[in-house]
Amino acid sequence: MVYCNYPLKKLNTFNLNINANKVVKVKELQQLCKLWQKYKKKYLPCLILGDGSNILFLKNFYGLVIINRIKGIYINESKKYWNLHVNSGENWHKLVEFTIKKKIYGLENLALIPGRVGSAPIQNIGAYGSSIKDFCQYVDIINPINKKIKRINKKKCKFQYRNSIFKHNNYKNYVIISVGLSLSKKWIPNLNYNDLKHLKSNITPQKIFNYICNIRKKKIPHPKIYGNAGSFFKNPIISPKLGFKLLKIFPDIPFSLENNYFKLSAGWLIDKCKFKGYIRKGVMVHSKQALILLNKFNNSSGMNILQLAIKIHNTVGKKFGIWLEPEVKIINSYGIVNPYIFFKKN
Ligand code: FAD
Ligand code: EPU
């Protein structure tokens, strides 16, 4: 059923009071293609969403919002691996829980990341030292207009930190329909992340899962309580030259090395600009994690969130010479907007 002038408040984790001209929940691929074709013929924009946990709506959406609920998990095994083919409308965290219950291990570090499986490869979701690229073998995509399906193998996905080929413009008219994951039967705990280093090496996957769920719950407010989209910005990756220069000025700056480049913590940079707890027009910089912007009373607007984000971007840029890039996708009435319109080096 296609709903008209439908509220998206429960379909975006910032809890913004936004409406879309048309909204539909789809459970089958045929239905998705049919609707996509129909609305594109009328020159109306189509936007596919999972749980709306990485988007910022600025205005009411003019076209059709398709909520993807195409489900199915298929498991195959080889001598050394469990191979999962998962349809894109499955909930990511429920998939992690499901695999652990089935004694298929590896995804535990990625517990409690909101969203659907189909969105996960787009920004190569990651947390606590793991990311989907460590397990993803392929991503199946469809062009809903001609219904042609393509399998993009791991290498061609070009996974990087919070990035993949699916963010490229060439893929904007494709829909991710399923994801192939491969999990080794020989489980090795991944305790490389700072917060996990103290855990004993005889730890179990279930314990890691529980531990990560607990720390995440302490750090990140549940979006149903305070609307948020997790980290608003990406952690910046900067040249060794700038990295060493900053280290001299700020010897306590936390960083890790990625192929000799410095990966800094955007939360630390924002924190150093004294934004923690800062509130403006109902939007607050989370007092436990400066990278998270909260719709504190769940009645602010996308524009207010954007304005605070721009203020943070400019302040951090002027202080450190680092111009943060948003992780969250910004959406106006017609679709995704180029973030550089708002987040300019100045
Ligand atoms: P949506 O927000 O619905 O969509 C995101 C984008 O993907 C949109 O542009 C949409 O059009 C597109 N899209 C969605 N489905 C498809 C599809 N099937 N085909 C093509 N395009 C599609 N991320 C991390 O990486 N690590 C974290 O630790 C983390 N923690 C978070 C904590 C909180 C509280 C929140 C709210 C978010 C967090 N995020 C994190 C961000 C978010 O969970 C991920 O980006 C997630 O993958 C978004 O999934 P979604 O289904 O909600 O995507
Ligand atoms: N820090 C501060 N002040 C802050 C926040 C962070 O000083 O207000 C410093 C601390 O030194 C802390 C370090 O930054 O040790 C790292 O913080 P944290 O472990 O919370 O991780 P993060 O780098 O801020 C990233 C991801 C999260 C992911 C966590 C855990 C990005 C943009 N964010 O945050 O992902 O859950 O690591 O792995 O990479 C998301 O993408 O939405 C998200 C929540």
Report the pLDDT value the prediction gives residue 346, as an integer from 0 to 100: 81
Q: For ligand 2, is residue 127 a contact (CB within 6 Å)? A: yes
251 CA from centroid of ligand 1 (Å) = 34
Q: For ligand 1, is residue 164 a contact (CB within 6 Å)? A: no
Report the pLDDT value the prediction gives residue 340, as an integer from 0 to 100: 95
Q: Which of 88, 90, 162, 178 is catalytic?
A: 162
Q: Span 222-229, mean pLDDT?
A: 98
Quick: pLDDT tens for 249-293: 999 999 999 889 999 999 999 999 999 999 999 999 999 999 999
CATH of region 73-219, choose from 3.30.300.130, 3.30.465.10, 2.40.160.20, 3.90.420.10: 3.30.465.10
Give the residue, by CA position, lying nearest to ligand 2 atom 30: 127
* pLDDT surpasses 80 at 156: yes
- Is it true that domain 3-68 has CATH number 3.30.70.60? no
- Note if 88 is an active site residue: no
Q: For ligand 1, is residue 294 a contact (CB within 6 Å)? A: no
3-state secondary structure of 247: helix
Mutate to test the pocket of ligand 2, among 51, 123, 231, 293 (most ligand atoms within 8 A of CB): 231
| pLDDT grade for 46, boundaries at 50, 70 and 90 | very high
Report the pLDDT value the prediction gives residue 257, as an integer from 0 to 100: 93
Q: Which of 53, 130, 178, 231 is catalytic?
A: 231
| Average pLDDT of every residue of the chain | 97
| pLDDT grade for 200, boundaries at 50, 70 and 90 | confident
Determine what percent of the chain falls in helix, strand and coil, rounding each to the nearest 5: 30, 30, 40
Q: Dihedral angle at the C-alpha atoms of 120, 125, 129, 133, nearest 10 degrees?
A: 60
- Is it true that domain 237-341 has CATH number 3.20.20.80? no
Give the residue, by CA position, lying nearest to ligand 1 atom 5: 54
**Domain spans, the chain:** 3-68, 73-219, 237-341
Burial of 338 (0-12, 13-18, 19+ CB in 10 A): exposed
Strands ordered across the beta sheet of 81-87: 73-77, 81-87, 175-184, 136-143, 148-153
Q: What angle do CA 76, 81, 82 make, to 5 degrees?
A: 40
* pLDDT surpasses 80 at 201: no
Under 8 Å CB-to-CB from 242, ≥6 apart: which residues?
A: 262, 321, 322
